[in-house]
Amino acid sequence: MTASARMIVRMIARLRTQGIRNEAVLSAMQRVPRTQFVDSGLAFNAYEDTPLPIGFQQTISQPFVVARMLEILLAGRASLGRTLEVGAGCGYQAAVMSSLASDVFAVERIRGLIETAKENLRPLRLPNVRMKHADGMLGLPEAAPFDSIIVAAGAPQIPVALVEQLAPGGRLLAPVGDQRTQQLVLVERRENNSFTESRYDAVRFVPLLAGTE
C-alpha cells in the first residue's frame, strides 16, 4: 500500500471512531485523495482532522465535518440527488459528493479558488460535478430546484433564496451563528411544502459573504 493509501485508511478508521456510521459516506471519502486538494507542502497534513489553508484566507474543511454534514444530509435517503454546494473552496467536498449525488453544482465567490477547484477536479474525471463562479447566497436559480443544499460557510441566517430553491422533500444543511461559532441547522421542505428545522453539532466555518471577487 502506498503512504497515501495508508493515510486514507487511517482517516476512515478515525472517522468511524468519531461516530460516522454511514457506509456510503465513508466509501465516498475513501475514494477522494485529499492530498490533491491542498498545497503540495501540506500533503503530509492532508489527512489530519483539521481545516487547512487553501489560499485567499479560506480553508479546506476538516474530514470529520465533511463526513458529518454528508451523513446528516443523506440520512435515510439513497442519494443526495440534485445537489447545490455553496462555498466550493478547493473542490474537495464537491468531489466527495460526486458519488453520493446525481448532480453536484458547486458555487464559489472567489474566482481564484474556483479555478483551483476546477484544476483539482480535472484528473478525477467526475462528469456530474459542475463549478461556477457566483454568489451562492443567491442560490443557483438556473439549476434549481435541489434535493440537497450544503452551505460550507457560516452566517447568522440562512439566505431565503436557498430555502426557496429546495425541491419538495429536499434538505438544506448550513452552519448558522456568529463569526466565532455556529451550529449546523437542517431545513427540510416537506412534500406539502411546509418546513421543519433541526439543530446538530457546533461548528466553526469561515463567513458566508455576499457578492463575488
Judged by CB under 6 A, the residue of 135, 146, 165, 184 near ligand SAH is 135
Q: Which of residues 86-105 bind ligand SAH (CB under 6 A)?
A: 86-90, 92-93
Position 136 contacts ligand SAH (CB under 6 A): yes
Position 146 contacts ligand SAH (CB under 6 A): no
Which grid cell sits at 206? 469561515
Position 58 contacts ligand SAH (CB under 6 A): yes
Piece of 22-30, 38-46, 67-75, 80-88 that binds ligand SAH (CB under 6 A)? 80-88
The C-alpha atoms of residue 96 and residue 93 are separated, in whole angstroms, by: 5
Position 176 contacts ligand SAH (CB under 6 A): no
**3-class DSSP assignment, residue 156:** coil
Say if residues 24 and 100 touch (Cβ distance below 8 Å). yes
Q: Where are the beta strands (DSSP E) in 64-206?
A: 81-86, 101-108, 129-133, 146-151, 166-177, 182-189, 195-203
Piece of 21-29, 140-148, 183-191, 205-213 that binds ligand SAH (CB under 6 A)? 205-213
27, 61, 99, 102: which is the annotated catalytic residue?
Answer: 61
Smallest Cα–Cα separation from 27: which of 16, 41, 39, 35? 16
Smallest Cα–Cα separation from 140: which of 182, 103, 178, 93? 103
Q: Name the residue nearer to ligand SAH (CB basis): 87 or 145.
A: 87
Site for ligand SAH, rule CB under 6 A: 58-61, 86-90, 92-93, 107-110, 113, 135-137, 152-153, 206, 208-210
Active site residues: 61
